[in-house]
Copies of this chain bind each other. A is one copy, B any other.
Amino acid sequence: MNVHSAGDRPIATPPPNDKRRRILDAAVQVFAQHGFFHARVTDIAREAGVADGTIYLYFKNKDDLLISLFEDRMEGIIAAFRAELSRLEGAAERLDKFVEMHLGMVEREPQLAEVLTVELRQSSKFMREYKAPRFQEYLDILAEIFELGRRTGEFRPDLEPRILKRIVFGALDEVSLVWSSTRRDKYALADAAREIRNLCVRGLMASAAHETAQQGDRP
């Protein structure tokens, strides 16, 4: 990302926190491949090209490594999402973009997606205290979209952003999980995106039926 700054200093100077980054990158790979519990710290160290002990210079313990990984990656993702969304006006447009970006990320970095998705869940079991603030923030982007839509009258006034953010995230998450675990052979993520968008915009009911559905389509 900060590629341009590279020329400013002698090339020999390693980027600050080179090791930390390499460890995090390695952790993504290893956690994604074996799952958090079966991942060995040694394997992460080897993958990162550092000694086992080095990991403990940057992270308190294995749990902390997962948490840090999560926070670190989410920070970037949240920033990117906010930047992109801020350029759009309507709530519907933004929701579309959110869905597109979420699934795009899954498609581009399936390993990362798997860690953020699957491993987070199980970790919440044993890290009861960890509230995953970045995850909340991520969800809040969604909530804000719903708020916006409600405020501007674009969306129904009776919708509950607090709940809807979970619903939409859950849908995205499940769809991503299937896609990445089945090695993308079942359906394209683009199809999933369209289906989610359709559900949000039109619901499930047959087009004409909509308004009429409530009153008169069964004579």
- Chain A positions near chain B (C-beta within 8 angstroms): 34-38, 90, 92, 95, 118-119, 121-122, 124-126, 146, 149, 153-160, 162-164, 166-175, 177-178, 181, 186-187, 191-192, 195-196, 198-207, 209-211, 213-214, 217
Contacts and interface: CB of A to CB of B under 8 A. Distances in A.
A211 B201 CA distance: 10
Contacts of A192: 163, 166-167
Given A122-B122, A200-B199, A187 B167 contact: no
A204 B155 contact: yes
A167 B158 contact: no
Stoichiometry, as copies per complex, reads 4
Which 7 pairs, one residue from A and one from B, show the smallest C-beta to C-beta distance? A170-B174, A35-B125, A203-B203, A122-B122, A170-B170, A167-B171, A170-B171
Contacts of A36: 122
Given A159-B195, A160-B195, A202-B210, 12 more contacts: A118-B125, A121-B122, A121-B177, A124-B181, A154-B209, A156-B198, A163-B192, A166-B171, A170-B172, A171-B171, A201-B204, A203-B203
Contact of A162 (B163, B187, B202): B187
A54 B206 CA distance: 55
Most buried by B among A92, A203, A217: A203
